[in-house]
Amino acid sequence: MGNLLTYLNGKAGDRVKKNDWHESAQERWNNNAGNWHSRSVNMWTEGSRKEIIPFMVKHLTEGSKVADLGCGDGFGSYLLYEKGYKVTGMDLSEKMVEIAKKQEKDGLSFIQGDLSKPPFEKEEFDAVMMINSLEWTENPLHALKEVKGLVKQNGMLCIGILGPTAHPRENSFPRLYGEKVICNTMMPWELEKLALDSGMVKDDEKWVYKQGVPEKHIENLSSELKQALSFMTLFMFRIQDN
């Protein structure tokens, strides 16, 4: 029990304070901005996020207007920009946005905002990318519907969701002790069902695994089993009805 209490005390920053999810999540990511920034380049170029930009490029026309929602320090937004897209990054944390803005140039900009009420016009973008950000909203279904409305008809919505083998899912563990936490862990199949029930169409899916998982052991598995083994599942949804 002592180890569990130590763990919970260490995760105090992931709890909701004063019943204000928005403020608590913002504080959490402000405090983590420096640590995230120190690891970001490696994650996007060599680590768990290295497959994301190729996955986006596969489905988007060059020159598309893209929103990166939950952009963090903006390095993923920058990589999209480098591929020929016009990119606007948004993050809840002002500290993250402060770091991201150092990369701004014509065609690449950053703004602070909340996924539950994003500060954009209806159908403003050809595509949206959200990587491990939907989990950090108090009401994922509401946020998903808000984001859907930002995408043009037949536009694309790429969402990355942590899989069952992802260590960061522990951010939501204290909920089992009755704590209200600011990470809404969900299974990839749950996100898929939310999206399909919201009128989206799944165009593609890709799975990211922990290092050491041989491709030969997973290539013939069903989509369901691949999700179950994943560190992260990437979905590409098409918006057909707003």
* Cβ atoms 183, 136 nearer than 8 A: yes
| CATH class in words for 2-239 | alpha beta
Q: For residue 6, what pLDDT is reported?
A: 36
> pLDDT tens digits, the chain, 242 residues: what are they?
334 333 333 444 466 665 688 888 899 999 999 999 999 999 999 999 999 999 999 999 999 999 999 999 999 999 999 999 999 999 999 999 999 999 999 999 999 999 999 999 999 999 999 999 999 999 999 999 999 999 999 999 999 999 999 988 888 888 889 888 888 889 999 999 999 999 999 999 999 998 878 888 898 999 999 999 999 999 999 998 77
CA 117, CA 18: separation in Å to the nearest integer? 21
Cβ distance 98 to 72 under 8 Å? no
What's the pTM value of the predicted model, to 2 decimals? 0.91
Domain ranges of the chain: 2-239
Q: What angle do CA 222, 228, 234 make, to 5 degrees?
A: 85
Where would I find the H helices in 60-199? 75-82, 94-100, 140-148, 188-197
Q: For the chain, give percent helix, strand, coil, nearest 5.
A: 45, 25, 35
The Cα–Cα gap between 201 and 237 comes to 5
Tokens of 143: 């946020």
Question: Backbone phi, then psi, for 19, in 5-degree steps?
Answer: 55, 25
